[in-house]
Amino acid sequence: MTQISAILEKCAGSPPNILATLQAVQAALGYVPPESVPQIAHALGATDSDVAGVLSFYHDLRTEKPGRHTIRFCLGESCLATGCKASLDAVERATGCNLGETSKDGKFTLEKVYCLGNCALSPSMMVDDNLYARFTPQTVVEILKEHA
Amino acid sequence: VKVYVSNDSSACAVGAERVAGALSKLKDVEVVRTSSRGAFFLEPLVEIDTASGRAVYPNVQPDNVAGLLAKPAMPFSEITFLSKQQRFTFANAGVTEPLSVKEYGFKALEKARGMDPQKILDEVKTANLRGRGGAAFPAGIKWQTTKDAPADQRYVVANADEGDPGTFSDRMIMEGDPFRLIEGMAICARAVGATKGYVYIRSEYPAAIRKMRAAIGQALEASVLDPKTFMLEVFVGAGAYICGEETALLESLEGKRGMVRPKPPFPAIQGLWQKPTVINNVITFASVPDIIARGGAWHASIGTEKSKGTMPLQLAGRIKNGGLVEIPFGATLEEVIFGFGGGMPTGSKFKAVQVGGPLGSIFPESLLKTRICFDEFIKAGGILGHGGIVVYDHTTDMVDLARHFMEFTADESCGKCTPCRVGSTRAKEILEAMLRREGTPADLALLQELGETMKLTSLCALGGLAPEPVRTAIQYFPDEFKAR
């Protein structure tokens, strides 16, 4: 909570920006603890429901601790056209989690994303900030092994 | 010897970073990291200087750089994918270092500073520059409205929430030629009297975010931007397709839920924090420096009657040569897909093409003669949108694809309009039932009716156009739907 206080001190600009504040909290903690909503609302001069509303709206914002690595698997049209579903199956088998879940060992959180802007070299996925392209069900599993 | 290797994130995703590393270990080799040409099917692409300009080594891998430079390089003219394009907005792609202020020059901004603001605006009007984000609205009219709206504060906002799957031209500009966007925005700010600007970039583009921030910092340091007259900032999105819609983007920029606002009032009059705001797509702003440098009449001399200038088309999906093609408006889809794009990869047969992202129509082979310009696409029952072209091959199941579009809409609807929020979910359920072969004869009529309702009663283009790919998939591939 003290970590959140420090962030809030920096974010309480005028006018305060709820989204930017939640992004700052998530950058520091990896997620936004739901119990911190009243504290954030108070610091920004907003209501709890304003803050909770923004928190629930954006796909990026999470309320649970994620795995050590976040896989953003693209399900955009170009990736679908190049057979990404078979690679997604392979990723799900290798990590033991479905889209939206975190693996039991806490290593990976698997999320779906619509487009990473790598469409000329589909299929695509991002592990943390690293972009991967043109993988197959075989090579995609090798990519995951590079991440400890 | 100098060699040029791209540091674009797509190029790096197929090994450009490792190739550059391997080359830098060679004796007497200096590696320069440029932007990408956009010929992604040739990446990692290594270039060298020759007496007749750059020459290239395509598809280089880290383990074959040794001895590479002893082999003859391919002359640039032999790569017709690139040599047949007419590049203006992407003139620097693959040529310059993205973060070199000196190389970029900022000549157009310098010229604009010597011009009366209304004269700048008149050039943009003469150019007949239409918005490249999808709506194709004339930029000059937008700018004039903001300029003429009485206000103590005006804003300039770049819509860099490039959410349409199949598009990457904004990303290429931000990663590869960020000063062009900055220059276009600064010229606009001078024309309309704005002192503050934002670049709203989607979070899926971490490299573009880093590059834009670094470029703004460099422009300030080099005194190209003066914070007293124009302050520019990057704002990062949080993964919501709807924030590409201009009013939802402004709500998001204010830190709120990205909910669509009813129009009017238009953002040009009441935009960010209710102040007059010019909000344009990245490519629209990036087109401005050339218009100022060469004149509006120059721009108006290129393209078709109502679509002026060039369009950066983005070839993706099942296609041989994926990448960026900047050409004047007016070529046919066929020329682009089978000429520049090289047609289908071995073993694949063309089935359909979708232009304009997830809100764009599905076109069968019979519509490949459609000319690429805003009006012809509308006439053919589609949209050109942001210029994304995704090709589907014979293995594509149209019912499953239709289901995907409705799942996408259900995931990404802001929820404000009931037909979009609920209609997309119901349509998805109907299509899921069809995929389980539990469809009934009434389903197709019901889908049609849902689509009509969404179209007629949604506030924005997401609800209004999302039924289009489904409608056209049914129209052109009816047997696949009837069989379920």
pLDDT single digits (tens) A20-67: 999 999 999 999 999 999 999 999 999 999 999 999 999 999 999 999
Instruction: Please give the structure tokens belonging to residue A67.
Output: 């795995």
**B231: Cβ–Cβ under 8 A, 6 or more apart, which residues?**
B195, B196, B197
Cβ atoms of residues A72 and A113 within 8 Å: yes
pLDDT at residue B387, as a whole number: 98
B62 to chain A, closest Cα gap in Å: 16
Cβ–Cβ contacts within 10 Å for residue B114, how many? Answer: 7
Cβ atoms of residues B196 and B190 within 8 Å: no
**What's the average model confidence in pLDDT over A110-119?**
98
CB < 8 Å to A81, chain B = 316-318, 390-393, 396
Q: Measuring CA to CA, which residue among B275, B119, B99 is closest to residue B187?
A: B119
Cβ atoms of residues B137 and B266 within 8 Å: no
Q: Does A118 touch chain B (CB under 8 A)?
A: yes
pLDDT at residue A12, as a whole number: 76
DSSP string, chain A: -HHHHHHHHHH--SS--HHHHHHHHHHHHSS--GGGHHHHHHHHT--HHHHHHHHHH-TT--SS---SEEEEEE-SHHHHHTTHHHHHHHHHHHHT--TTEE-TTS-EEEEEES--S-GGG-SEEEETTEEEES--HHHHHHHHHT--
Q: Does A134 touch chain B (CB under 8 A)?
A: yes
**B438: Cβ–Cβ under 8 A, 6 or more apart, which residues?**
none
Q: Which residues pair with A130 in a beta bridge?
A: A127
Best B204, B313, B321 member to test A by mutation, with max A CBs in 10 Å, is B204
Q: Measuring CA to CA, which residue among B452, B124, B131 is closest to residue B294?
A: B124
Q: Per-residue pLDDT for A88 more than 70?
A: yes
Q: Does B478 touch chain A (CB under 8 A)?
A: no
The pairing of beta strand B30-34 with beta strand B2-6: parallel
Instruction: Please give the structure tokens belonging to residue A22.
Output: 């939640």
Amino acid letter, A31:
Y
CB < 8 Å to A60, chain B = 203, 237-239
Distance in angstroms (rounded) separating the CA atoms of residues B349 and B393: 5
pLDDT tier for residue A13 given thresholds of 50, 70 and 90: confident
CB < 8 Å to A131, chain B = 9-10, 12-13, 207
pLDDT at residue A3, as a whole number: 86
Q: Backbone dihedral region of A107: left (phi > 0), alpha (psi from -120 to 50 degrees) or beta?
A: alpha
Distance in angstroms (rounded) separating the CA atoms of residues B301 and B294: 11
Instruction: Please give the structure tokens belonging to residue B13.
Output: 């995703």
Q: Per-residue pLDDT for A1 more than 70?
A: no
Does B289 sit behind a cis peptide bond, omega within 30 degrees of 0 on the bond before it? no
| Dmax (CA) of chain B | 72
Q: Nearest chain A residue to B242 by CA: give it.
A: A58
- What kind and span of H or E run contains B201? strand B196-201
The answer to whether the Cβ–Cβ distance between A23 and B9 falls below 8 Å is no
> CA of B203: how far to CAs of A122, B8, B166, B196, B198, in Å?
19, 16, 17, 22, 15
Cβ atoms of residues B296 and B308 within 8 Å: no
Residue ranges for chain B with pLDDT beneath 70: none
Q: Is the ipTM of this complex over 0.95?
A: yes
pLDDT at residue A2, as a whole number: 79
* Average pLDDT value for chain B: 97
CB < 8 Å to B166, chain A = 76-78, 115, 119
Instruction: Please give the structure tokens belonging to residue A60.
Output: 């990026």
CB < 8 Å to B408, chain A = 114
The answer to whether the Cβ–Cβ distance between B165 and A126 falls below 8 Å is no
Instruction: Please give the structure tokens belonging to residue B98.
Output: 């993205």
Q: Nearest chain A residue to B405 by CA: give it.
A: A77
In degrees and rounded to multiples of 5, residue B382 shows phi and psi of: -140, -165
pTM of the model: 0.97
Best A78, A85, A139 member to test B by mutation, with max B CBs in 10 Å, is A78
Looking at chain B from residue 240 to 279, which residues have their Cβ under 8 Å from any Cβ of chain A?
240-241, 252, 254-258, 273
